[in-house]
Amino acid sequence: MLRELRRAPGCKRKPRPRVVGIDDWAIARGHQYGTIIVDLERREPIEVFAGRDAIAVTAWMRAHRSIEIVARDRAGAYSEAVDIALPAAKQVSDRWHLLSNLRDNVERLLYRLGPQLRQAAQKVEVGRVTLGRRGGGLSRFNSLRSWQRLSDQRRATRLALYERVMALRAQGCTIRGIAREFSMSSATVLKFVHAGAFPERAPKARGPTPLDRYRDYIEERVAQGCRFPELIWLELKQRGYKGSRASVQSCVTRLLFPQGKAPLVQVPARTMPIPSARRVFGWLVGWKNLAVEEPKSADHERFVQALCKIEPVVGEVRSLAREFLGLIHRIFRNLCDDGEFAWRLGRLSCCDAAEMRRFAQSLRADLPAVRAAFKLPWSNGQTEGHVNRLKLLKRQMYGRANIELLRLRVLKPN
């Protein structure tokens, strides 16, 4: 295969690259990485090699002095290599990675405010009953289905692990020491330590079901005193319902046995399940349609208002995050100038949340590239696309191809 590829006629001599994008890719994830370089003007890869350290990238950059603009992610090794080999080249930080860094810092803040998220969720009453497990437990263990019992068992295991982690942390153990003790990642240990309380998993969003349009009728019948799921199922069949009896029984059981209490005739008020930090970030900045079966937008806004009232710093972080998103949205209309950017950066630096101050500090450390991201149209989107293609070729060869064969397949025409 290698001999045939080497014998293949090469392409015509290509012009020297002027604008390139650079990114890393995993040869063996967590152990060995390589680098791919893409000509953004001609929209094709021009080099693939093993290693992502500054020495290897510097050697390649020195051999290509025609490069004027380099689009990259926030990695320090690539920045250092460009500074050494091509000090006159303009570096452009990728805008997607800027948004990703913003989201990561806001999520760290929300992880730390786990008890406040729980309080805010308890203050929001949702008008309709969900069929998910998170509405509360049933009073009889035998009423639970196998997947529900498995969910409870996994939660108990995770809670026991959380308590053991916090016990070692209280004894003065380090984060890395705890991670080695329990064979878990340091990031998970940090999440546990900073959460302030046991971090509940967010409910999995469920898609629409045939029972959705009949929920109001089920709630009405339960409120009237009907305690027989089979009778309600027969009534729904007369109304056009074609689903199973088990789904109706599950819904009625949850109405009759809310949160393990005694059977009720009236439909209880339902509070919002505790959302994940990522979902709350989407609500804070105004992203819509994150899942099919989420509460309505009014419920989102009530949750955000309750959270801002409980923890005022969340309101400040929300305002700063939306302003930063607004800056990026105005890039393509040339409405973002240096003065406004400096003022926004100053506001980030003065925020009461330590996570946002760290985000501002990371922007200042890479300020020329960040400013260029708000002025120039180049980004690392093309490079990420070619990384995806490289991974496809790698998997076609079952991950056994060496770097030479992989490079030839990426650079040679198909």
Residue 114 forms part of a structural domain: no
Same domain, yes or no: 262 and 292: no
Question: Do 361 and 386 have their domain in common?
Answer: no
Q: How many domains would you assign to the chain?
A: 3
Cα–Cα distance between 328 and 332 in angstroms, integer?
8
Are residues 170 and 47 located together in one domain of the fold?
no
Last residue of a domain, one of 218, 237, 270: 270
**Same domain assignment for residues 216 and 336:** no
Cα(32)–Cα(51) distance, integer angstroms: 7
Specify whether 136 is located in the same domain as 183.
yes
> Rounded CA gap, 283 and 124, in Å?
14
**At which of 270, 287, 307 does a domain end?**
270
Per-residue pLDDT of the chain (414 residues; tens, 9 = 90+): 667 766 666 656 778 999 999 999 999 888 899 999 999 999 999 999 999 899 999 999 999 999 999 999 887 889 999 999 999 999 999 999 999 999 999 999 998 898 899 899 888 877 544 333 333 333 443 455 566 667 778 888 888 899 999 999 999 999 999 999 898 899 889 888 888 788 877 766 666 778 888 888 888 888 887 878 888 888 898 989 988 888 888 788 777 665 444 444 444 456 788 888 888 998 898 865 444 344 456 788 889 999 999 999 999 999 999 988 888 777 655 556 677 778 888 889 999 999 999 999 999 999 999 989 888 889 999 999 999 999 999 998 888 888 888 898 898 766
For residue 21, tell me if it sits in a domain: yes
3-state secondary structure string across 171-193:
CCCCHHHHHHHHCCCHHHHHHHH
Predicted confidence at residue 253, as pLDDT, reads 75
Kindly report the CATH number assigned to the domain that includes residue 56.
3.30.420.10
> Are the beta carbons of 101 and 359 closer than 8 angstroms?
yes
Q: Are residues 25 and 90 in the same domain?
A: yes
Q: Is the pTM of this model over 0.75?
A: no
Query: Does 247 lie in the same domain as 134?
Result: yes
Q: Is residue 371 part of a domain?
A: no
Do the domain assignments include residue 214? yes
CB neighbourhood size of 413 (10 A): 8
Q: What are phi and psi of 75, to 5 degrees?
A: -65, 135
If asked whether residues 259 and 150 sit together in one domain, one would say yes
Q: What's the rounded Cα separation, in Å, for the pair 209 and 44?
A: 45
Both 217 and 296 in one domain: the answer is no
- Do residues 328 and 285 make contact, with C-beta atoms less than 8 angstroms apart? no
18 located within any domain: yes
Instruction: Tell me what pLDDT residue 287 has.
Output: 66
Residue-range definition of the domain harbouring residue 143: 127-270
Q: Please report whether residue 334 resides in a domain.
A: yes
Looking at the fold, whether 159 and 281 belong to one and the same domain comes out as no
Same domain, 64 and 146: no
Amino acid at 360: A
Structural domain includes residue 133: yes
Q: Which of 392, 410, 383, 403 is nearest to 23 (CA)?
A: 383
Of 340, 386, 351, 292, residue with least CA distance to 102: 351
pLDDT value at residue 131? 33
Give a yes or no: residue 19 inside a domain. yes
Whole-angstrom CA distances from 365 to 71, 281, 321 are: 17, 25, 19
Q: DSSP letter for 398, please.
A: T
Last residue of a domain, one of 245, 270, 295: 270
Is there a single domain that holds both residue 169 and residue 39?
no
Angle at 408 between CA 407 and CA 411, to 5 degrees: 80
